[in-house]
Structure 1
Amino acid sequence: MMAKTIEVQSKLELINDLFPGFDIMSPSDYSAIIRSGITGEKLKAITRLTGEKDLIARAIGVSSSQLYRCYHVKRLPSHVTVNLVGMLQVFVHVMNIYDSVNLAKEWINSQIPALGGQVPKNILHTTEGREIISQILRKLESGDYS
């Protein structure tokens, strides 16, 4: 397996630094991250790190123009945290596959034939959408490009 590029490794470290002691991609750490919650400050950092304001806003159920209001909340509601962390896991997964932040953003914002021409960004805000996308990503990792 190839080593991650410095760009991707740095981004992963910055994302994980938001959750001290936890790995965003670890299934066992996922529950702990959800229980500890996400503050508005962390939300702002996630938005800055991903550069995906519209994606983040949709994941937490607000418009892009209202996202800034959420930066001031003490703690996001648990259902919002679940959607945000789930979306972030998919974003990191795509970043790992393509070993590029820019290619990950491009993929998330492109029509994907395996999704029937849908754009991942448009279904990442739902649990079902994230699961479908995760299945496709697992196929990509195993070399199945159908």
Structure 2
Amino acid sequence: MNQWLNFREVFQSTPVKRIALIRKGVNAADFKLFVSRLDIQQEKIFLMLDIATATVNRKASRNEALSQEDSEKVVGMAKLIGQVETLLEESGDPDAMQGFDAAKWLAHWMEEPIPALGGAAPADYMDTIEGQEMISRVLATMQTGAYA
């Protein structure tokens, strides 16, 4: 299993370990398979992350890794999914969370405009690491109840 698909571990790991994942590169075919399971059009995810569909398809057909820049965005998304999983683990009812798919929830949540971002959708900021950090802060405030 690719390390970047262990979302909670990616979220809880050190920056040094995440940098190693990014430098190794995310396998394009694995990324494409992951996106196909999100219950959202893959083009929306690629656009959200500003990763060219043609590049993903070409690299997937050759079993190659995404570029370091694209891998960083994918690992950043994995980190956000891990943050949601951790948030639910710490704050939620474990029985009620059975079958909950944090990756699908995050993909759909990111499409909705939210007041904490001035009415913008989180997806509008997923193409940069700074934007992903901002989304991470919004998720953290949701856990405290400061934002609903």
- Provide the TM-score with structure 2 as the length reference: 0.70
1:123 Cα shift?
Answer: 1.2
Which protein, 1 or 2, shows the higher relative CO under an 8 Å CA cutoff with sep ≥ 6?
2
Question: Could you say which residue in structure 2 is the equivalent of 1:10?
Answer: none
1:129 to 2:131 alignment: yes
Percent identity reads: 22
Map 1:92-111 to 2 at 5 A: 92-94=82-84, 96-97=86-87, 100-101=100-101, 102-111=104-113
Question: Could you say which residue in structure 2 is the equivalent of 1:142?
Answer: 144
1:27 to 2:13 alignment: yes
1:72 Cα shift?
Answer: 2.3
Report the more deviating stretch, 51-60 or 132-141: 51-60
1:81 to 62, 67, 71: 71
Q: Which runs of 5+ in 1 are unaligned?
A: 1-16
2:28 and 2:56 in contact (8 A); partners too: no
Tell me the distance in 1 between the aligned counterparts of 2:121 and 2:59.
Answer: 25
Tell me the distance in 2 between the aligned counterparts of 1:39 and 1:105.
Answer: 20
C-alpha change, 1:56 and 1:89, in structure 2 (3 Å) is: farther
Letter in 2 for 1:42: D
Root-mean-square deviation over aligned CA pairs: 2.8
* Residue correspondences, number: 129
Q: Which runs of 5+ in 2 are unaligned?
A: 89-96
